Amino acid sequence: MSIDFIPLEYYTPIFFYTILLVVLFTFLELLTKGILKIKYGLLLVFAIVLYMGLRPISGFYFGDTSTYAQIFERYQNGFAITTTKDVVFHYFTMFCSTIMGVHSFFLICAFIYVFPLYLVSKKWFKQYWFYAFLLLVASFSFWAGGVNGVRNSMAGSLFLLGISRDKRLFQFLWILMAISFHKSMLLPTMGFVLAQFYNKPKHMIIFWLLCIPLSLIAGESWEVFFANLGFEDDRLSYLTQGNVNDDKFSSTGFRWDFLLYSSCAVYAGWYFIVKKGFNDKIYNWLFITYLVANAFWILVIRANFSNRFAYLSWFMMALVIVYPFLKERIIKQQSMKLGLIIVIYFAFTFFMNVILK
């Protein structure tokens, strides 16, 4: 069963217009009532799971959805797993193909993508979890992650679930699961591990800033360097292929617009940690992880499909921005400013995904 009564060309815009209404309603509530416990939050969680998970299968409108459907159908027809990469995802797909149809499979994938974001928000922000969750689903890359980069997006959510756990064992197990779903999670994992031993956000901000001139000066040398490190991952071939698929994301070279977008989270971390003295161990870990992953993307920013490398930091960007707002009273008129940030943050998403389409 899928939601096939909605014309395909309207399916994605309906999602963004719905989130627009939720964002505006939340903004008005923040202006008039302040930061409150939102009672309808779980309704939004499961509505997104159902809407995303029960989408029709279309490669034209939903990117790699059709590719994943083909993989699922191959396993359903008895084909064996022939890859040694992202093996947990493939065993998961094969198992699902034996007990359910392809639409149920995508519904489960959407649940694995969306529900951990709720768990992370609930864990860190208690009764104010809704605002963090809303900012996560209002992110520029959220919808595309769920309908196009299915495997990567699930891995990102599992990674966030891992770093939100208190016990090291559960952190390790969930992060290992994330890497097994998509090996690219090794990059934010390296950032998270670094943060455990070098918990100095100020120094890491300087490192991030240095990567900008390094990328401008060295250009494509960084792409060649990382591609030749010896990692057995086909995604690194994107670094040296050039723009063979007319990828609009990278077709204009150094993306100053997306660098500016990424810098919003860097500025937020600097503002709260350096300027306001916000001292929170978990926030420092999250911020350093973001800086490491985003710095890598800056170095390879010209690569074909560089959006896939950008996603390795962008999936946690909303949390970097909203975390201090929901943990302490730091600034004057905090509720109003939180509302403005939610509106501005989603305005970029809406502009890029609806207005420019």
Q: Count CB neighbours of 51 within 10 A.
A: 17
Task: Give the DSSP H/E element, type plus range, for residue 248.
Answer: none
Per-residue pLDDT at 246: 41
Per-residue pLDDT at 243: 44
Q: Average pLDDT of the chain? A: 90
Scan for tokens 């500025």, then name that residue: 267
Sequential DSSP letters for 265-319: HHHHHHIIIIIS----HHHHHHHHHHHHHHHHHHHTTTSTTHHHHHHHHHTTHHH
Per-residue pLDDT at 325: 95
Per-residue pLDDT at 297: 92
In the structure encoding, which two tokens stand for residue 28, read together?
């008005």
pLDDT band, residue 84 (cuts 50/70/90): confident
In 3-state terms, the chain is what percent helix, strand and coil (to 5)? 75, 0, 25
| Nearest residue to 97 via CA among 126, 74, 116 | 74
Per-residue pLDDT at 229: 53
In the structure encoding, which two tokens stand for residue 111, read together?
């649940």
Per-residue pLDDT at 309: 85
Per-residue pLDDT at 244: 43
Per-residue pLDDT at 74: 94
Q: Count CB neighbours of 348 within 10 A.
A: 16
Indicate the range of 59-73, 147-161, 293-307, 321-335 predicted with least confidence: 293-307
Residue 87, pLDDT > 60, answer yes
Distance between CA atoms of residues 245 and 137, nearest Å: 28
Residue 207, pLDDT > 60, answer yes
Q: Which has more pLDDT, 323 or 299?
A: 323
Indicate the range of 95-104, 218-227, 295-304, 325-334 predicted with least confidence: 218-227
In the structure encoding, which two tokens stand for residue 2, read together?
């899928």
Distance between CA atoms of residues 80 and 102, nearest Å: 17
For 269-292, what is the mean pLDDT?
Answer: 96
DSSP SS3 for 329? coil
pLDDT band, residue 92 (cuts 50/70/90): very high
pTM > 0.75: yes or no: yes
Q: Which residues of 133-166 are buried (b: 16+ CB within 10 A; e: fewer)?
A: bbbbbbbbbbbbbbbbbbbbbbbbbbbbbbbbbe
pLDDT tens digits for 147-189?
999 999 999 999 999 999 999 999 999 999 999 999 999 999 9
Q: 168 Cβ partners below 8 Å, 6+ apart? A: none
Instruction: Provide the total of helices (H) and of strands (E) in the chain, helices listed first.
Output: 19, 0
Q: 309 Cβ partners below 8 Å, 6+ apart? A: 184, 238, 296, 297, 300, 303
Residue 240, pLDDT > 60, answer no
pLDDT tens digits for 33-57?
988 888 889 999 999 999 999 999 9
Give the rounded percent of residues in the chain with a pLDDT score beyond 90.
76
| Nearest residue to 116 via CA among 78, 146, 81, 75 | 146
Please, what sign has the CA dihedral across residues 23, 116, 121, 311?
negative
pLDDT band, residue 262 (cuts 50/70/90): very high
Distance between CA atoms of residues 91 and 83, nearest Å: 10
